């Protein structure tokens, strides 16, 4: 749980000390003084409910045990340095977006004025960029926590999620929903978060299991346009559906019983997009109920069905993900699917504990035969959300 009122005088919360020391040392080495604050935020896996958060549907993500750390100190302009390869240092004014990684941090500062003139920032991360694990929400939520504290505000988890959403949606220009920022800011260890995006209501669902995350090795970049294009298709499909059902305010409100008629009203490919939204909404509700009953096998089956819908109806999968999911099912996983926006990223798999290593080895071998490279699966568990790690 995020605690904005962490005590002062260099107090530290529990957490991986080495990672905190690393970001402090990067900051100190770069700027020649110690940071005033360090905050961190996790990535996320979405169990199910894909592309529903901008269609008024339910989603069921959990925060994962891999995080991004942001150290911050005062500055006149924005100076940013990253410990990750491929992210060169940036020195800039707040101004217009520049199309690089600094936009996620500056976007947060602009959204809320924390602090609007500038800051010195150092970032380290355990999250691959483009891995479908929401590295961008981890960065922007952690930046919101650090910058908010630096400016003397005490933003709560809702305020962090809102600042990060504004940065990505309004400033970076990805027309995302609110799933990623919400779970990254609010997550509770050992729980998934059921979020009804029509109302904003959330419910913590105990999730003691682990899932295997298998990176496809295909990096997606949401700013490239496919994501915004899908969102525009959904907006158009809603307009067309409203000519038949004027009371509809979001596609996810369309009842399953009306799907057959809706599909006849819509030109291709909008018919497929709506089929995904309506069936995924039903699957997500069913998965949440199955999770409450502790029936992981049923949840997993819904995941596999969800993958077919992403592949055939939303058309946002890639061959690497399709091969991983098919191999998982063939070799005895309980279920598997692509997680996150798609066009690359990662596949998640649920297995019986006793079968896990055999299934994973066989899936990796199938993938290696087909794509000539070996994937690196790892185990994700439901972790806690954003936190302040250090305040000087």
State the catalytic residue, choosing from 53, 180, 196, 313: 180
- With binding defined as CB under 6 A, does residue 341 bind ligand GLA? yes
Handedness of CA 158, 159, 163, 166 (dihedral sign): positive
Q: How far is the CB of 51 from ligand GLA (least distance, A)?
A: 5
Cα-flanking dihedrals φ and ψ of residue 345, to 5°?
A: 90, -140
Residue identified by tokens 């993958």 is 307
Please give the Cα distance from 283 to 57 (Å, whole number): 11
Is the Cβ of residue 79 or residue 253 nearer to ligand GLA in the bound state?
Answer: 253
Does position 338 interact with ligand GLA (CB under 6 A)? The reply is: no
Stretch (H or E) spanning 75: none
Q: Which of 31, 43, 45, 51 binds ligand GLA (CB under 6 A)?
A: 51
Residues 14-43, one symbol each (x = binds ligand GLA by CB under 6 A, - = not), give ------------------------------
Is residue 179 involved in binding ligand GLA (CB under 6 A)? yes
In whole angstroms, give the CA distance from residue 322 to residue 342.
11
Q: Which stretch binds ligand GLA (CB under 6 A): 48-56, 97-105, 114-122, 209-217?
A: 48-56
- Structure tokens of 3? 């605690």
Helix (H, G, I), strand (E, B) or coil at 53: coil
Q: What angle do CA 40, 44, 47 make, to 5 degrees?
A: 160
Within 120-149, the residues that bind ligand GLA by CB under 6 A are 134
Looking only at the bridges linking them, the beta strands covering 378-381 and 210-215 are antiparallel
Query: Alpha carbon of 384 to those of 137, 180, 193: distances in Å?
Result: 14, 14, 11
Q: What does the chain come to in residues?
A: 392
Q: CA-to-CA distance for 170 and 191, rounded, in angstroms?
A: 30
Q: Which range, of 24-32, 174-182, 245-253, 273-281, touches ligand GLA by CB under 6 A?
A: 174-182
Q: Strands 119-125, 78-82: parallel, antiparallel or unpaired by DSSP?
A: parallel
Binding mask 196-215 for ligand GLA (x = CB under 6 A): --------------------
Q: Which is nearer to ligand GLA, 6 or 59 (CB)?
A: 59
Which DSSP letter does residue 224 get? G
Shortest CA distance to 360 belongs to which of 349, 372, 373?
349
Binding residues for ligand GLA, total number by CB under 6 A: 12
| Smaller CB separation from ligand GLA, 148 or 177 | 177
Asked about 100 being catalytic, the answer comes back as no
**Which span (34-42, 51-59, 76-84, 151-159) binds ligand GLA, by CB under 6 A?**
51-59
Residue of 143, 147, 163, 176 that binds ligand GLA (CB under 6 A): 176
Q: Which of 53, 103, 162, 280 binds ligand GLA (CB under 6 A)?
A: 53
Considering only the stretches 173-181, 326-334, 350-358, 373-381, report the one whose residues sit in contact with ligand GLA under the rule CB under 6 A.
Answer: 173-181
Q: Is residue 220 a contact point for ligand GLA (CB under 6 A)? A: no
- Quickly tell me which residue has 């005033």 as its tokens: 36
> Judged by CB under 6 A, which stretch of 26-34, 35-43, 175-183, 274-282 contacts ligand GLA?
175-183
Establish if 344 lies at the interface with ligand GLA (CB under 6 A): no
Q: What are phi and psi of 63, to 5 degrees?
A: -80, 145
Taking the C-alpha atoms of residue 30 and residue 81, their distance in angstroms, rounded to an integer, is 8
Active-site residues: which are they? Answer: 180
Query: What is the binding site for ligand GLA (CB under 6 A)?
Result: 46, 50-51, 53-54, 134, 176-177, 179-180, 340-341
């Amino acid at each position: 749980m995020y605690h904005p009122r962490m005590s002062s005088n260099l107090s530290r919360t529990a957490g991986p000390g080495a990672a905190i020391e690393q970001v402090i040392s990067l900051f100190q080495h770069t700027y020649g003084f110690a940071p005033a604050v360090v905050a961190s935020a996790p990535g996320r896996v979405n169990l199910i409910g894909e592309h529903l958060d901008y269609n008024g549907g339910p989603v069921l993500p959990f925060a994962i045990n891999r995080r991004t750390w942001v150290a911050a100190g005062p500055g006149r302009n924005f100076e940013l340095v990253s410990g990750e390869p491929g992210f060169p240092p940036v020195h800039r004014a707040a101004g217009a977006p520049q199309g690089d990684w600094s936009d996620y941090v500056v976007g947060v500062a602009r959204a809320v004025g924390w602090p609007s003139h500038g800051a010195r920032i150092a970032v380290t991360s355990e999250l691959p960029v483009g891995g479908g694990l929401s590295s961008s929400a981890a960065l922007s939520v952690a930046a919101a926590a650090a910058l908010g504290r630096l400016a003397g505000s005490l933003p709560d988890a809702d305020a962090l999620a809102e600042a990060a959403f504004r940065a990505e949606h309004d400033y970076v220009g990805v027309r995302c929903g609110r799933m990623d920022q919400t779970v990254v800011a609010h997550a509770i260890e050992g729980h998934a978060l059921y979020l009804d995006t029509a109302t904003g209501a959330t419910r913590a669902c105990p999730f003691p299991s682990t899932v295997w995350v298998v990176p496809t090795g295909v990096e997606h970049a949401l700013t490239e346009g496919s994501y915004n294009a899908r969102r525009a298709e959904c907006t158009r499909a809603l307009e067309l559906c409203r000519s038949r059902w004027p009371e509809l305010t979001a596609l996810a409100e369309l009842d399953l019983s009306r799907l057959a008629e809706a599909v006849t009203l819509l030109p291709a490919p909008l018919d497929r997009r709506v089929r995904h939204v309506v069936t995924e909404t039903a699957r997500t509700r069913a998965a949440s109920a199955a999770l409450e009953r502790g029936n992981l096998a049923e949840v997993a089956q819904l995941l596999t069905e969800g993958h077919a819908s992403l592949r055939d109806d939303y058309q946002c999968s890639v061959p690497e993900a399709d091969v991983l999911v098919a191999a998982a099912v063939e070799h005895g996983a309980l279920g598997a699917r692509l997680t996150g926006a798609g066009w690359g990223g990662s596949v998640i798999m649920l297995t019986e504990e006793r079968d896990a290593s055999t299934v994973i080895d066989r899936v990796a071998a199938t993938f290696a035969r087909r794509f000539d490279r070996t994937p690196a699966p790892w185990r994700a568990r439901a972790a806690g959300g954003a936190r302040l790690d250090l305040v000087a």
